[in-house]
């Protein structure tokens, strides 16, 4: 549905309810304007990629603070110490049975190779079980290639977890068996021989070995050669380095509530991005939506509760911003009525999902449907909330996620293709309207969504199933 048709529908809702009228006004202005798009343009085209610890990240923080100040929103910077990982020069190639360059991107946090690089035969696996079955005798001294295809279909964000674990844990699992390096098939739903990076996590009980993402096409080639009985040797050079942590900040804006200022509705996105592309869909679009939501709400009478916006630092390779927020505001957690994150790209909104107590989804639908149905964003369901909100899980804070159409999100995610041209201006404004209306309703409605009892995992302690 295009914006003109949406505007006509909006004229029919909320006629006798001041709260619904205000939500309608927020939606109408978001649909009619282009402020979110213009902010995204500046962030991506003039500041660009902004990995934690980079000079561009500091520029983005200063820019975001100035944007909130310009809109009359009280804003402050809250300190966060972030890791400083530098990619350096990278290259890889197959050297036998034939010579061919491979398209790679070092995984975030990987150690580098020596200046001469690393050359070794490969072994290709499609699961951790397959890796373990080979054993150290067939893995030691080799580069492990994880070729785990990801077929588009279903709910991409849900299925992401089934493949991303090889990127996160693959290096350490292979190192325990004596591997000297790792190549992980890009976690991507589409590719034009474009590798997709992402963070890894080294285990404390395993050697740290170099690890990179390889394009889906190259991963498939390596598998075909091995299955044909060829001995394949690969060389790769990673110039990655790790520097000491440096100071950064969460950017925090606030609109005090008129009746219950101690009750907080948090909205957030992460300001950092990977060092490839310009972070338009991940998560510049979310930042633009949050900034615009604060501007729209600040223009009128404040809602019943306080609205707090947080542009988090270091989501991509450390989650330091989310953890620092929890530590700074530990004593306020019982006053967080809800937390809503926008970190799913820049496409049109289809609804909200989240982690809440019994009956929460039904109540969420009752609260949101009268307005969000006009935006065709009325899919309400259980979920996990965004990554930056996950540290709040130990307190049972209701964690919501702005659900967007994810059809193409993982085509560009964490790659050089994550650029402004992938975001449709009208879809971005529709998503902004959805976030703005949802934020207003959460902060204004007398009802609150039920909290939940945290799981062992949310309490940061081993669950019975994971204990030795």
CATH number, residue 125: 3.50.30.30
Claim to verify: residue 257 and residue 222 sit in the same structural domain:
no
- pLDDT the model gives residue 11: 45
| Bridge-based pairing state of the strands 260-270 and 305-312 | parallel
Q: Which of 246, 197, 198 is nearest to 61 (CA)?
A: 246
Could you say which of 239, 258, 281 is where a domain stops?
A: 239
CA distances in angstroms from 301 to 258, 261, 368, 442, 454, listed in the order given:
8, 13, 20, 15, 35
Q: Are 102 and 216 in contact (CB under 8 A)?
A: no
The tokens for 262 are 């101690």
Looking at the fold, whether 249 and 316 belong to one and the same domain comes out as: yes
- In the sheet with 90-96, reading across from the earlier edge strand, the strands are 100-102, 90-96, 233-238, 118-125, 143-146, 181-185, 211-214, 104-106
The domain tally of the chain equals 2
Cα–Cα nearest to 187, from 208, 210, 209, 156: 156
118 neighbors 143 (Cβ within 8 angstroms): yes
At 467 the pLDDT is: 27
**Same domain? 233 vs 325:** no
Q: Are residues 110 and 214 in the same domain?
A: yes
Tell me if 139 sits within 8 A of 176, measured CB to CB: no
364: tokens are 């969420």
Terminal-to-terminal C-alpha distance of the chain: 53
Instruction: Report d(CA 321, CA 250) in Å as an integer.
Output: 6
- Same domain (yes/no): 79, 127: no
- Determine, yes or no, domain membership for 143: yes
Q: Could you tell me if 63 and 169 lie in one domain?
A: no
Is residue 95 domain-resident? Answer: yes
- Count CB atoms within 10 A of the CB of residue 226: 18
Q: Is residue 459 part of a domain?
A: no
468 residues of the chain, pLDDT tens digit each: 455 444 444 444 444 477 789 999 999 999 999 999 999 999 999 999 999 999 999 999 999 999 999 999 999 999 999 999 999 999 999 999 999 999 999 999 999 999 999 999 999 999 999 999 999 999 999 999 999 998 776 666 668 888 999 999 999 999 999 999 999 999 999 999 999 999 999 999 999 999 999 999 999 999 999 999 999 999 999 999 999 999 999 999 999 999 999 999 999 999 999 999 999 999 999 999 999 999 999 999 999 999 999 999 999 999 999 999 999 999 999 999 999 999 999 999 999 999 999 999 999 999 999 999 999 999 999 998 889 999 999 999 999 999 999 999 999 999 999 999 999 999 999 999 999 999 999 999 999 999 999 988 888 754 333 322
Among candidate residues 206, 239, 272, the one where a domain is terminated: 239
256 and 321 co-located in one domain: yes
366 and 330 share one domain: yes
Decide if 350 is inside a domain. Answer: yes
DSSP β-bridge partners for residue 116? none
223 shares a domain with 290: no
Token reading at 201:
């996590």
Residues known to be catalytic: 315
Q: Does one domain contain both 77 and 114?
A: no
Q: Which of 221, 253, 256 is nearest to 97 (CA)?
A: 221
Q: Is residue 457 part of a domain?
A: no
Model pLDDT, residue 78: 98
Residues 145 and 215 in one domain: yes
For residue 78, what are the β-bridge partners?
A: 250
Positive or negative, the CA dihedral 317, 321, 326, 327 is positive
Q: Do both 105 and 78 map to the same domain?
A: no
Q: Is 368 helix (H, G, I), strand (E, B) or coil?
A: helix
- For residue 452, is it within any domain? no
Which among 200, 79, 187, 156 is positioned nearest to 347, based on CA atoms?
A: 156
Is residue 453 in a domain? no
> Looking at residue 462, what is its pLDDT?
42
State how far Cα 388 lies from the chain centre.
Answer: 8
Nearest 5°: phi and psi at 94? -85, 130
Query: What is the torsion angle, in degrees rounded to the nearest 10, for the CA atoms of residue 353, residue 357, residue 361 and residue 367?
Result: -100
Q: What CATH number does residue 308 fall under?
A: 3.40.630.10
Residues 6+ apart with CB under 8 A from 404: 344, 345, 346, 347, 348, 349, 350, 431
Calculate the CA dihedral of residues 161, 163, 166, 169 and round it to 10 degrees.
0
Residue 458, domain member (yes or no): no
| Angle, in degrees to the nearest 10, between helices 425-444 and 35-42 | 110
Domain span including residue 359? 3-83+244-444
> What's the confidence (pLDDT) of residue 153?
66
* pLDDT attached to residue 463: 33
Return the pLDDT at 460.
73
């Amino acid at each position: 549905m295009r914006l003109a048709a949406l505007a006509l529908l909006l004229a029919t809702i909320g006629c006798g309810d001041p709260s619904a009228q205000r939500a309608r006004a927020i939606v109408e202005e978001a649909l009619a304007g282009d402020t979110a798009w213009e902010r995204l343009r500046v962030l991506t085209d003039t500041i660009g990629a902004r990995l934690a610890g980079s000079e561009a990240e500091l520029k983005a923080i200063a820019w975001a603070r100035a944007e909130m100040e310009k809109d009359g929103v009280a804003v402050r910077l809250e300190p966060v110490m972030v890791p400083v990982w530098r990619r350096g020069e990278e290259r890889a190639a197959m050297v036998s049975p034939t010579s061919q360059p491979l398209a790679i991107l070092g995984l975030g946090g990987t150690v580098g190779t020596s200046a001469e690089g690393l050359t070794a035969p490969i072994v290709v696996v499609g699961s951790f079980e397959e890796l373990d079955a080979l054993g150290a005798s067939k893995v030691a001294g080799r580069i492990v290639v994880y070729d785990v295809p990801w077929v588009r279909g279903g709910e991409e964000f849900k299925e992401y977890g089934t493949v991303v674990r090889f990127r996160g844990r693959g290096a350490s699992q292979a190192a325990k068996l004596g591997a000297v390096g790792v190549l992980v098939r890009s976690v991507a739903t589409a590719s034009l021989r474009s590798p997709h990076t992402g963070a890894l996590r080294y285990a404390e009980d395993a050697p740290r070995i170099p690890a990179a993402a390889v394009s889906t096409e190259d991963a498939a080639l390596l598998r075909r050669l091995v299955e044909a009985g060829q001995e394949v040797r690969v060389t790769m050079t990673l110039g990655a380095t790790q520097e000491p942590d440096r100071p950064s900040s969460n950017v925090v804006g606030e609109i005090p509530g008129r009746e219950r200022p101690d009750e907080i509705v948090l909205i957030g996105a992460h300001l950092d991005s990977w060092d490839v592309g310009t972070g338009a869909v991940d998560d510049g679009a979310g930042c633009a939506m949050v900034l615009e939501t604060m501007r729209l709400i600040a223009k009128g009478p404040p809602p019943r509760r306080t609205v707090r916006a947080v542009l988090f630092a270091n989501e991509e390779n450390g989650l330091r911003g989310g953890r620092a927020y929890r530590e700074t505001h530990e004593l306020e957690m019982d006053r967080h009525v809800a937390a809503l994150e926008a970190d799913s790209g820049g496409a049109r909104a289809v609804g909200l999902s989240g982690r809440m107590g019994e009956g929460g989804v039904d109540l969420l639908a009752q609260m949101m449907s009268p307005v969000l149905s006009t935006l065709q964003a009325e899919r309400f369901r259980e979920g996990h909330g965004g990554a930056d909100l996950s540290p709040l899980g130990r307190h049972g804070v209701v964690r919501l996620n702005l659900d967007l159409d994810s059809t193409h999100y993982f085509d560009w995610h964490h790659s050089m293709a994550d650029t402004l041209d992938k975001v449709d201006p009208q879809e971005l404004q529709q998503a902004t309207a959805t976030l703005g209306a949802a934020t207003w309703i959460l902060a204004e409605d007398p009802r609150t969504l039920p909290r939940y009892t945290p799981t062992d995992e949310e309490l940061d302690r081993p669950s019975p199933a994971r204990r030795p």
